[in-house]
């Protein structure tokens, strides 16, 4: 099953939105494979966002993601990267559609509540920054036969 990294950013934590956002992922039928409550160090943030180094928004991005505690998790499910990105909505809250996480809870250009990997390959790289193989939990949810249809059925 495909996996993705999701980070509930400092603004989501400070605004007490952890439960509401997590509930949306669970309601969709996605499985939590790993989860941590932590502060992202500056060196870790720089590794995570190295693809943006040199861009005008990079310093602010590093400052933002290290400004407070976050929830970091691995979600698993079919087409998980595409599904979670659609659920999150456009990056800027004021552009995000109602019904998405950012559309319902955000309006800011920079405080955008949640990070999600942008491709399966990126997801594996990002997951390895935050979790060891030993921290990943493999299991099947009892409702999976009722929420995830097999492709060849």
| Residues that are catalytic | 115
The answer to whether the beta carbons of residues 32 and 145 sit under 8 Å apart is: no
Scored b (16 or more CB within 10 A) or e, 49-70 reads beeeeeeeeeeebbebbbeeeb
Distances (CA, A) of 26 to 31, 41, 98: 7, 28, 19
Interacting residues of 138 by C-beta distance below 8 A, sequence separation 6+: 33
Cα gap 72→37, rounded to integer Å: 6
DSSP state of 135: G
């Amino acid at each position: 099953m495909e996996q993705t990294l999701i980070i509930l950013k400092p603004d989501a934590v400070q605004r007490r939105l952890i439960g509401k956002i997590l509930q949306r992922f669970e309601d969709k039928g996605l499985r939590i494979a790993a989860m941590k409550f932590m502060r992202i160090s500056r060196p870790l943030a720089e590794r995570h966002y190295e693809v943006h180094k040199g861009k005008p928004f990079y310093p602010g991005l590093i400052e933002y993601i290290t400004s407070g505690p976050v929830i970091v998790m691995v979600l698993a499910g079919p087409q998980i990267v595409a599904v979670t990105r659609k659920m999150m909505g456009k990056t800027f809250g004021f552009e995000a559609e109602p019904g998405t996480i950012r559309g319902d809870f955000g309006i800011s250009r920079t405080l955008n509540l949640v990070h999600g990997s942008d491709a399966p390959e990126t997801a594996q790289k990002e997951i390895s920054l935050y979790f060891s193989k030993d921290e990943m939990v493999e299991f099947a949810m009892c409702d999976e036969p009722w929420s995830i249809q097999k492709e060849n059925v």
